[in-house]
């Protein structure tokens, strides 16, 4: 699996010919939208920062769209969406999917770290966790605490506050007890490479 980051909460997952876009940035966002074709688009929040489905409808690919809680199957992938609290009390959908033999969880634009026990139980064992920090999402301290409690093998923080992202990431790393991180442009992972990892933080540059 190859993981790419495009800013805000937007992440691209690719394994072979299958492409998943999580929270694609739309044209109405102040952030730069990215264009590529996706087989599956997951939208956590109905907002221009996260609902740019048109931007990932490209070439020969028209994505299957998932934009709320429930259980889904598309492109051979099983996806579960779990309701949670987003900015200004809006419904935010947390997504969990098994992709390329790994369980990926994206917390979307989660604004409350107080997840119900039932939600935590549903998420169960997590290989890769994307956690939002800054902006109207989680504060760095709350994000670090929640990420640690979910016990993923890899934690990837996504800074949602633009120009202040670097400072937000520094605060998160301090709270997470992870220092001297060198950001990478993309993360390429195989299932066997997760063996022995526990709460490892990876910082991704965004395109």
94 neighbors 9 (Cβ within 8 angstroms): no
For residue 182, pLDDT over 90 is answered with: no
* Residue 156, number of CB atoms within 10 A of its CB: 21
For residue 166, pLDDT over 90 is answered with: no
Note the pLDDT tens digit of each residue in 185-203: 999 999 999 999 999 999 9
- How does DSSP classify residue 194? G
Mind listing the domains of the chain with CATH numbers?
2-201 (3.60.15.10)
pLDDT band at 179 (very low <50, low <70, confident <90, very high): confident
pLDDT band at 163 (very low <50, low <70, confident <90, very high): low
Taking alpha carbons only, the member of 134, 120, 118, 126 closest to residue 98 is 126
């Amino acid at each position: 699996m190859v993981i790419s980051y495009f800013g805000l909460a937007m992440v691209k997952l690719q394994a072979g010919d299958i492409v998943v876009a999580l929270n694609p940035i739309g044209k109405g966002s102040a952030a730069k939208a990215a264009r590529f074709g996706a087989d599956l688009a997951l939208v956590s929040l109905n907002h221009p920062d996260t609902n740019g489905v048109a931007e990932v409808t490209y070439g020969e690919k028209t994505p299957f769209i998932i934009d709320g809680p429930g259980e889904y199957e598309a492109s051979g992938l099983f996806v579960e969406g779990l309701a949670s609290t987003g900015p200004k009390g809006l419904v935010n959908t947390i997504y969990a999917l098994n992709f390329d033999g790994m369980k990926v969880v994206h917390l979307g634009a989660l604004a409350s770290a107080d997840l119900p026990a039932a939600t935590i139980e549903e998420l169960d064992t997590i290989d890769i966790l994307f956690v939002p920090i800054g902006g109207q999402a989680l504060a760095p301290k709350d994000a670090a605490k929640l990420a640690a409690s979910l016990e993923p093998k890899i934690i990837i923080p996504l800074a949602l506050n633009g120009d202040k992202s670097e400072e937000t990431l520094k605060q998160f790393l301090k709270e997470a007890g992870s220092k001297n991180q060198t950001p990478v442009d993309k993360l390429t992972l195989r299932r066997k490479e997760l063996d022995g990892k526990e709460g490892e933080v990876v910082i991704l540059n965004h395109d």
